[in-house]
Amino acid sequence: MYKIAVIPGDGIGKEVMEATLHVLDALEIEFDYTFADAGDECKAVSGVPLPEETIDIVKESQACLFGAAGESAADVIVRLRQELELYVNLRPVKSYPGTKALFDNLDFVIVRENTEDLYIGLEEETEEGATALRVTTRNAVERICKFAFDYADENCRNKVTAVHKANVLKKTDGLFKDIFYKVAEDYKDIETDDRYVDATAMFFITNPQMFNVIVTTNLFGDILSDEGAGLVGGLGLIPSANIGENSGLFEPVHGSAPDIAGKNIANPSAMILSAVMMLDYLKEHGAARTVENALVEVLSEGKVVTGDIGGNASTMEMASEIRRKIEEK
């Protein structure tokens, strides 16, 4: 039995979470769910967007499923990353049938360092304007590069690309590039190369098939991840994982979408795919492929899908169809 923290959060987070748990219930795996609060609605009731009780629940669980947060998203997700030391942000860029993907053969992963760079928020006002401190440490770079190579090795991926801007940021990204190639020496069977971030942004449009696993810094990873989402149909189809040494948090990246919240029309695919990433994290690879394949079948048929991808099904109708495909197997 797996102990899982469940944070539905705000807006459509509740709806896609209900749909995802409905799908997971079709598996022959026991989950012990502990529900917890976080987000705007939680703040309105308790005065804080992320209660200490919720942090404790997540720390005591083997993994966490997170739905969405509204305006308080940064206060919730960033703090959870810090509290749980979730130093990896993992974002797949994968084409699925029946979607608005610009290419039908994409399957690469962005491994983003999650703890430093400009996102640590060390900013200050000056007489001239403001400054921000960019932090790059050897330990964090080595750790994220090693994760990227281990991920490639464990998932039969044969190439890792470092993305940086070392030609301009000679100290910080120069360090990132040097450590990347030092780590690569321990993975002789994996091809390595590196690209400047601006060139990478262009190649995402002109030749994205060249990528397999990308490892990069916090800011660059954030930007490239959303560009990657645009390649394969938008944020409504994109899952993510935040992973540390002892914990993992899995969430869609579409946000709380207050304009459609409560209407039961949100696409549950991103949340379901986030649960697929959780299953892989728990080493339940067979179950992960079962859920993913059922989703692919439903998307391919295009009969019971939500409006954003050409259908007229509700959130739960699409989830029920995915569950039916699993139970048929």
Residue 80's domain spans which residues? 1-97+235-329
CATH assignment of the domain containing 303: 3.40.718.10
* Per-residue pLDDT reduced to its tens digit, 193-203: 999 999 999 99
**Does the annotation mark 226 as catalytic?**
yes
In a domain, 196, yes or no: yes
- Cα–Cα distance, 128 to 140 (Å, whole number): 32
Provide the pLDDT for residue 144: 98
* Per-residue pLDDT reduced to its tens digit, 158-216: 999 999 999 999 999 999 999 999 999 999 999 999 999 999 999 999 999 999 999 99
Res. 100 pLDDT band, cuts 50 70 90: confident
Choosing from 165, 199, 231, the residue where a domain stops is 231
Cross-strand partners of 216: 112, 163
Catalytic residue among 165, 173, 194, 280: 165
* Per-residue pLDDT reduced to its tens digit, 40-86: 999 999 999 999 999 999 999 999 999 999 999 889 998 999 899 99
Catalytic residue among 87, 96, 119, 151: 119
Choosing from 165, 196, 231, the residue where a domain stops is 231
- Cα–Cα distance, 16 to 269 (Å, whole number): 8
* Per-residue pLDDT reduced to its tens digit, 13-26: 999 999 999 999 99
Please give the structure tokens belonging to residue 157. Answer: 């991926």
Catalytic residue among 107, 153, 226, 308: 226
Q: Is the same domain home to 40 and 137?
A: no
Provide the pLDDT for residue 108: 98
In a domain, 102, yes or no: no
Span 91-112, mean pLDDT?
A: 94
**Does the annotation mark 150 as catalytic?**
no
- pTM summary value: 0.94
CA nearest 54: which of 67, 39, 41, 38?
38
**Does the annotation mark 56 as catalytic?**
no
pLDDT of 235 above 80? no
Neighbours of 82 (CB within 10 A): 12
Span 309-320, mean pLDDT?
A: 96
3 state SS of 52: helix
* Per-residue pLDDT reduced to its tens digit, 281-296: 999 999 999 999 999 9
Q: Is the same domain home to 194 and 302?
A: no
The proportion of the chain whose per-residue pLDDT surpasses 70, expressed as a percent, equals 100
**Does the annotation mark 178 as catalytic?**
no
Provide the pLDDT for residue 119: 86
**Does the annotation mark 165 as catalytic?**
yes
In a domain, 12, yes or no: yes
Choosing from 207, 231, 255, the residue where a domain stops is 231
Provide the pLDDT for residue 74: 85
Q: Is the same domain home to 67 and 173?
A: no
In a domain, 182, yes or no: yes
Catalytic residue among 181, 193, 198, 303: 198
Please give the structure tokens belonging to residue 284. Answer: 């339940």
Concatenate the DSSP letters of all residues of 11-33 into one string.
THHHHHHHHHHHHHTTSS--EEE
Residue 202, amino acid: M
Catalytic residue among 222, 280, 281, 325: 222
Residue whose token pair is 């860029």: 93
Provide the pLDDT for residue 191: 98
User: Based on the structure, what is the number of domains in the chain?
Assistant: 2
Please give the structure tokens belonging to residue 264. Answer: 């039961």
Span 217-228, mean pLDDT?
A: 96
Q: Is the same domain home to 113 and 225?
A: yes
pLDDT of 120 above 90? no
